[in-house]
Amino acid sequence: MTAAFAIPGEAVAADVAAALAEDIGTGDVTAALLADGPDCAYLLCKEDAVVCGRPWFDACHRALDPDVRIDWRVEEGTQVAAGTVLATLEGRTRALVSAERASLNFMQTLSATATTTAEHVAAVDGTGARILDTRKTIPGLRQAQKYAVRVGGGCNHRMGLYDAVMLKENHVRAAGSLTAAIRAARAAQPGLPLIVEVETLDQLREALAVGCDRILIDDFDAATRREAVAVVAAHPRPVPLEVSGGVDLPGLRAIAADGVDFISIGGLTKHIRAIDLSLKLGPPPTGP
């Protein structure tokens, strides 16, 4: 299934180069104490999780041992149970040990994002609402974490400040009005998607009247949110409606059931806990 996800190849290489340089520096002085010869290892997942990060894991090990053999037992995006052996490796002892931490850091972090995303996607199943990420990512790992969101079944919001125009309170204030901000954005960037954040129902109606590609309602209470859905649905030119702010997993389905199109959640990439994985030298256990 790895090929089914758009893998940011250049980003993988850059992420791995930075991680190995950070960790190994001028050389792994501890691994140098080991006799270097053919060895094997296995990657163990110690908790239920959605597996994510294989391209980064592989690149870490191949950067130090181009001849390493990595046999994956599970596909990218697979939900696994605690105790699952994810992969076996055959390579040089020192390279296996030196690549261990960086490769696990990627797998633990990206599997955490994919697992969290999958939980949120499952919560809105059947409603028609789609789960979006945000720009609240770990510095330097935006493409990696947004990839993990896709692996977990979510959708990507804008990648950065360059691929969509998103008008918020400060932009409206600087422009003098919401209408002025929208018109200026259309004139300056006619080829980019235009997303407008509104704080009131009056602003929502104004954004619909002037025109945009998506409207974001931020921190609306339930009653106002449902009214916003009705206002958009009744408009001659309805646009997708996105909800953000004050979103948590227990209340997620109720928001989706109101009829919104997107729910953006910073916690998919920001409030994550690394999945417990380990890389152990030797063959995997064969018993129960």
218 catalytic per annotation: yes
Strands (E) across 2-120 are located at: 38-45, 49-50, 69-72, 79-80, 84-92
Q: Does 65 qualify as catalytic in the annotation? A: no
Paired tokens of 126: 């059947």
Residue 75 tokens, joined? 């596909």
Cβ atoms of 60 and 106 closer than 8 Å: yes
d(CA 20, CA 16): 6
Task: Summarize the chain as % helix, strand, coil (round to 5).
Answer: 45, 20, 35
Indicate which residue of 23, 218, 227, 276 is catalytic.
218
- 168 noted as active-site residue: yes
How many Cβ atoms from other residues are within 10 Å of residue 118's Cβ?
22
Active site residue 101: yes
Q: What is the DSSP letter of 97?
A: H
- The token duo for 17 is 């180069």
Cα 23 to the center of its chain, rounded Å = 24
Q: Name the catalytic one among 62, 168, 186, 270.
A: 168
Catalytic residue selected from 197, 242, 258, 261: 197
Note if 136 is an active site residue: yes
Given 62, 73, 101, 183, which residue is catalytic?
101
Taking residue 43's Cβ as centre, other Cβ atoms within 10 Å add up to 26
> Rg for the chain (alpha carbons), in Å?
23
Q: Which residue has the tokens 């199943």?
A: 125
Which of the residues 136, 186, 205, 226 is marked catalytic? 136
Residues carrying an active site annotation: 101, 136, 168, 197, 218
